[in-house]
Structure 1
Amino acid sequence: MRKTAMLAAAACAAAVIAAPAGPALAASGSFTGTLPDGATWVADVPSHWNHTLILYSHGYGPLTAQDAPDAATKGQLLAGGYALVGSSYSGPSWWATASAVGDQFSSLAAATRITGAPRRTIAWGTSMGGLVSALESENPRHLIDGTLTTCGLVAGALNLNDYQLYGEYALAHLLAPAQAIKLVRYADATEAGAAATQLSTVVSGAQGSAAGRARIALGAVLLNEPGWFTGATAPAPRDYAGQEAQQEQEIATFLLPFIMSGRQQIELAAGGNSSATRGVDFSAVLRSSAHAGEVRALYRDAGVSLDADLRKLTRDADITADRRAIATLARTSMVTGRLGVPELDIHTIADQLVPVEQENWYGKQVRRRGSGPLLRQAYVNTTGHCAFQPAETIAALHAVEHRLDTGRWGDTSPQALNAAAAVLGGTGRYLRYDPPRLVGGLGEPR
């Protein structure tokens, strides 16, 4: 009763709804509205609603309302009887975590005026939206019952900014020390884009020499980048040349343009730069990586001193952080790990934008806070950011529902999730996997 009352009260104050007011009965169709802060929301309700409402949080990108990760998954969810709702977020930039949780709960309230009170509500987030849904898990406000995060940025913005800067700095300083490549405090998106193009060109050019390839591998490891970008299978564990070739492709053609432009949007939201290189011991950071062997092997083959490069990086590091930006992102874009509802996270094992290592950091944080029994994590054997089949994500959703129905987790093993995906028409690529340690994250060697 408390959940129903809170939703109804919030709905009265939260939204301008593009549907007539009426009794607490489900209405089917597509609905839109605008929240007082300017965010928009969208909801889809099937005629055969199963009384489960999915609160979907979209990832980093344009502030456009979405209520599902993709059209195929949306179609299957609606066919299965689920109602869907999600907001655009109100900004102030594409990094919208400061407003996202409030906008999502207000959108939920608006949708509930249309559907009536759901039997249960499940938060579902993708990428940056996975961070949003993880934050909702920590303060569910008696409005959500469980959470599914997919390819979630669950280690938060401070970790993200730190390790990305470490990798960018290593690439710029070792491959093009004479070039002034700006890495932080961008004036605007144009300046960030120009810097990304400049560094991408440097990386592409360095691939032609053994020394360049060794230094690209070092940058890739500091970035937590996987050695699998294209192809049906990953390079062999000791195929370091093959792994580096894949890393160069992803860094130069895909990663740097995305993350350096993304940094400008995060800085806009944070009011400055949250990450620093000054005081970082890059030898210690590399030692913390499970993939340091790749770097050592390629440096040895190139006849270049890895120790000298690491000393150079440590000695010359001079980028400082803005305290205001750190405080803002700590408040709006970092988890505590203290869960209020059950949560299942799924991640591909080779994710270029949100490395799977984030799940290692997050799992430790949740267990440290005593919430380990509420969390389950599962991994899909493929490359790509959020590269899931609809059947794989819906199988994970059913696992969350089982937890809500029974009060205990059922079988979330790879075999069980793959079998559930097969029932839904997918092949299922879940595997048993232990994600490596996040390199350069909070609490790592500094």
Structure 2
Amino acid sequence: MKRASRALAAAVATGLVAMSGTAAVAAEQAVGRHTYTGTIGGAAYKVETPVRWNGTLLIYSHPYYPADMPEFPPGNGNRVDSEEWLLEQGYALAASDFTGRTGFVVKEAVRDQIGVLDWFEDHVGKPRRTVATGSSGGGAISVLLAEKHPDRIDGVLAMCTPIDLYGQMNMSLDINFALKTLLGAKDVELVNAKDPAGSVQRLQQVMTTQVETPQGRARIALASAFGNVTGWNSALDPKPASVEGQARALYEIQLYGAVGVFGAVGQADLAKHAGGNPSYNIGVDYARQLAKSDQLPFVRKAYKEAGLDLGKDLARLAAAPRISPDRQARQWMLRHAVPRGTTPSPVVTLHNTADLAVPDHERWYATQVRQHGSPADLRQLFVARATHCAFTVGEEGVALQTLLTRITTGRWPSTDPAQLNAKASALGERWSKVFDFATGGDAVREPGFTKYRPSSLLRSSR
């Protein structure tokens, strides 16, 4: 999300001229390098055309924005320099900022992106190929966009995506539930909260105190295991070797992610859109969830170092009051926020091997594609790196080129990691920077494509 903010800030800094409203653009103005902004149905949009358009339009869906996201025009890439590279390559770019722009605006996003696509075809021209792309929650929107409008989208590139958005929200609930119960947080409501921001602040305060003790760190590790989140939070540094180092990384991840954004405040926003609370943990056996988690060995080690009884803490979770969903809200989520995996057009996914939006979503999506779509239309790429959306422009560019080769020729090029890394390296050091959430800075890194098999998603929506 910080990366998206930086991309939007850069768009403002360029001083591009905005067009108000939805006034028509003459055809001759659409030729060459131009930027167009305005509103469609109340949603801001941004369209950029390159000096020489290659006929491909990328329609970019931005990630989930929390309520305090600054008011910037919409961006067109996962990184600030993504736009620059894409325009240099001749791609046209388009994006809606979505009606409401912050929170769980998934339903609105699909409608608004089609509005921008209509505008582009009316005022710029009909693309030879239209690719839906996005990072984080925007990747899920891109998949949904292709499924709901198969006649408008020729391919999808979904990056660092929690494709099962409903499953992700339930895993966030699990993490918050475990933290509240095990850390003894008082006056914290997880759903239907009277004071969502206050609940978040109180839970964060308890976490910040407890992370300074071995017992608190062990319990943060256990809560994180219910989302199968790895204790590695730096795209530039290796995974911490010690239990304390990994637990502190989990604290940082959950303080901002599962608690800060998707805790009580995020659940309240979700309920507003869904018409009630869809999230639940009724019927969840946390001992069984832990047994399925890749993080079980780490949790056992953390509990041993802390001198705690893991069985007793699991019993505390089993005895704690549970949360039930509102039936209509649950149906709303299944209808508007969970793709079926029909692959009406080719799909490429790109994911880090360690991410708070766990790569397990990719395994879930592949299962849905086997049941409802065509596995031959799916390629899933992984980068051996930690933190959210930590890709170089070169890696994103190679993933896009992989998709476009399939769209253009009907055949997939090789996705062998060595060949993908060679292609990304060939683009040069200029496009080899990685943004690190842990430090807030960029650094050059070698391409990291790798073979990887994700675990099963612990709380899939179906």
Name the CA distance, whole Å, in 2 between partners of 1:414 and 1:228.
22
2:17 matched residue in structure 1 = none
Deviation at 1:176, TM superposition (A): 0.8
Correspondence 1:17-96 to 2 at 5 A: 17-22=22-27, 26=31, 28-35=33-40, 37-61=41-65, 62=69, 64-91=73-100, 94-96=103-105
For 1:78, give the aligned amino acid.
L
Residue by residue over 1:314-356, the C-alpha shift from the partner in whole angstroms, topping out at 9 and shown as x without a partner, is: 222322211121111111111111110000000112222x222
Name the CA distance, whole Å, in 1 between partners of 2:250 and 2:102. Answer: 29
State the 1:75 CA deviation.
0.7
1:366-385 matched pairs, under 5 angstroms: 366-385=369-388
Does the aligned pair in 2 maintain the 1:93–1:265 contact within 8 Å?
Answer: no
Select between 303-312 and 284-293 the one with higher mean Cα deviation: 303-312
Measured on the aligned residues, the alpha-carbon RMSD in Å equals 2.2
332-341 or 271-280, which deviates more: 271-280
Choose the corresponding residue for 1:361, options 346, 361, 364. Answer: 364
Q: Report the counterpart of residue 243 of structure 1 in structure 2.
A: 246
Structure 2 CA distance for partners of 1:253 and 1:82, relative to 1, 3 Å: closer
Conserved? CA contact 1:24–1:117, under 8 Å: no
Structure-2 residue corresponding to 1:428: 447
Tell me the CA shift for residue 138 of structure 1.
Answer: 1.8
> Number of matched residues?
420
Alignment of 1:113-128 (within 5 A): 113-128=122-137
Per the TM alignment, residue 144 of structure 1 is displaced from its structure 2 partner at its CA by: 1.5
Candidates 386, 392, 405, aligned match of 2:395: 392
CA distance in 1, matches of 2:313, 2:233: 26
Deviates more, 1:277-286 or 1:73-82: 277-286
Q: Is the 8 A contact 2:133 2:157 kept in 1?
A: yes
Paired position in structure 1 for 2:239: 234
Task: Rate the CA distance shift 1:126–1:400 in 2: closer, same or farther, 3 A.
Answer: same
Partners in 1 of 2:30 and 2:190 — Cα distance? Answer: 53
Report the residue type matching 2:233 in the other structure.
Answer: F
- Give 1:7's aligned residue: none
Alignment CA distance shift 1:371-1:24 (3 Å) = farther
Structure 2 Cα separation of the partners of residues 291 and 68 of structure 1: 32
* 1:93 Cα deviation after fit: 5.1
Contact 2:143/2:156 (CA < 8 Å) preserved in 1?
yes
Give the match for residue 167 of structure 1: 175
2:158 is equivalent to residue 142 of structure 1: no
Out of 281, 298, 316, the position equivalent to 1:294 is 298
- Does structure 1 conserve the Cα–Cα contact (< 8 Å) formed by 2:133 and 2:142? yes
Give structure 1 regions of 4+ aligned residues with deviation exceeding 6 angstroms: none
Q: Which residue of 2 aligns with 1:343?
A: 347
Aligned to 1:440: 459
* CA shift for structure 1 position 131: 0.6
Task: Note closer, same or farther for the CA distance 1:403–1:213 as it changes in structure 2 (3 Å cut).
Answer: same
Q: Structure 1, residues 357-416: CA drift from partner, whole Å, max 9, x if none?
A: 222222222222242111111111222211211111011111111111210111112212
Q: Secondary structure at the match of 1:170?
A: helix
The structure-2 alpha-carbon separation of the partners of 1:253 and 1:112, relative to structure 1 and needing over 3 Å to count, comes to: closer
Q: Name the structure 2 match of 1:10.
A: none
* Equivalent of 1:186 in 193, 207, 219: 193
Gaps of at least 5 residues in structure 2 are: 1-19, 433-445
Aligned pair 1:312/2:322, yes or no?
A: no
* Partner-residue secondary structure (3-state), 2:262: helix
- Aligned pairs (5 A) from 1:405-424: 405-424=408-427
Asked whether the 8 Å contact 2:344–2:373 carries over to 1, the reply is no
CA spacing shift, 1:193–1:223, aligned 2, 3 Å: farther
Normalised by the length of structure 2, the TM-score is 0.85
Matched residue, 1:5: none
| Distance change (3 Å), C-alpha of 1:251 and 1:22 | closer
Q: 396-405 or 56-65, which moves further after superposition?
A: 56-65
Further displaced range: 274-283 or 16-25: 16-25
Distance 1:207 1:113, change over 3 A: same
Structure 1 gap ranges (5+): 1-14
| From 211, 226, 248, the counterpart of 1:207 | 211
Q: Distance in 2 between matches of 1:195 and 1:374?
A: 44
Whether contact under 8 Å (1:24, 1:114) holds in the other structure is: no
Query: What's 2:120 paired with?
Result: 111
Q: Distance in 1 between matches of 2:101 and 2:331?
A: 17
Alignment of 1:129 onto 2:145: no
Residue in 1 that maps onto 2:4? none
Q: Distance in 2 between matches of 1:319 and 1:147?
A: 35
SS in 2 for 1:401: helix
Distance 2:354 2:105 in 1: 25
Instruction: Assess if the C-alpha contact under 8 Å between 2:56 and 2:127 holds in 1.
Output: yes
Q: Classify the secondary structure of the residue corresponding to 1:418.
A: helix
Aligned partner letter, 1:428: P
Change in 2 beyond 3 A, CA 1:410/1:140: farther
For 1:234 and 1:93, how far apart are their aligned partners in 2?
A: 32
C-alpha distance in structure 1 between counterparts of 2:397 and 2:300, whole Å? 41
Q: Distance in 2 between matches of 1:181 and 1:132?
A: 31
Q: 1:194 to 1:104 in 2, by over 3 A?
A: same
5 Å matches for 1:262-273? 262-273=266-277
- In structure 2, distance between residues paired with 1:71 and 1:208: 36
